[in-house]
Amino acid sequence: MRTAEQSRETRETQISVRLALDGGETKIQTGIGFFDHMLQAFATHGGFGLQVQVQGDLFVDGHHTVEDTGIVLGRAFRQALGDRSGIARFGSFYVPMDETLAFAAVDVSGRPFLVFQAEFPQQVVGAFDACLTEEFFRAFAMNAELTLHTRVEYGNNSHHMIEAMFKAVAHALRLAAAETTPGQVLSTKGSL
């Protein structure tokens, strides 16, 4: 089973993540209700087992908690994918959510990059600053060492827009991480 455990402790956050790419228990506790909801949706729609425990300096704001969770979750994905052989490598997906349509495409390439296109009309959803969505996905993509493009095609409710993005990224990752030919690396170079 493709699994990983990662943790990180700084003066701002203490984070532990357990990830199973092929499913398992999901338990999320970050201290930010809406962010918990997004990570739950991410795990459910990706088919991942995911346990996340975070203690962050929420008395400041949610920035360190959200960004650092992206760092640790990204490292867990990189570890769980191993040498990246035997997987589909690419995945893309659209998710409609009421008035919103979001898209994500991923290349599990070893080359970290993020293209993020979304403008959120409401700046806060619950206790979550909408601008932290980009911070999370940047930290995740850089530390998972994957190329991630995600955008909101249209929408006018920030909750729907952010949730559709998380779900689209999860589905794209599920497709990219799908097992194909064992030992084969999908690259003309022979390695990623």
Q: Which helix (H) or strand (E) holds 27?
A: strand 26-29
Nearest to 39 by CA among 65, 60, 78, 61: 65
Given CA atoms 181, 187, 188, 192 in this order, what sign does their dihedral have? Answer: negative
Across all residues in the chain, what is the average pLDDT?
95
What is the pLDDT averaged over residues 132-138? 98
Residue 9, pLDDT above cutoff 90? yes
Residue 78 CB contacts under 8 Å (≥ 6 apart), including other chains: 4, 143, 144, 145
Is the pLDDT at 187 greater than 60, yes or no? no
Nearest to 117 by CA among 90, 91, 143, 155: 155
Domain boundaries, the chain: 3-176
Phi, then psi, of 65 in degrees rounded to 5: -60, -50
Collapse the DSSP code of 143 into the 3-class scheme (helix H, G, I; strand E, B; otherwise coil) and give the result: helix
Paired tokens of 67: 């960004």
% of the chain at pLDDT higher than 90: 91
Which pLDDT score, from 0 to 100, does residue 186 have? 60
How much is the pTM? Answer: 0.94
Cα distance between residue 20 and residue 6, in whole Å: 12
Report the topology of domain 3-176: Ribosomal Protein S5; domain 2 (3.30.230)
Instruction: Give the CA count within 13 Å in the CB-facing half-sphere of 57.
Output: 10
Whole-Å CA distances, 47 to 12, 27, 40, 122: 30, 14, 10, 29
- 170 to each of 13, 19, 48, 173, 191, how far by Cα in Å? 24, 13, 9, 5, 24
pLDDT, tens only, 83-94: 888 899 999 999
- List, for residues 104-122, the tens digit of each pLDDT value: 999 999 999 999 999 999 9
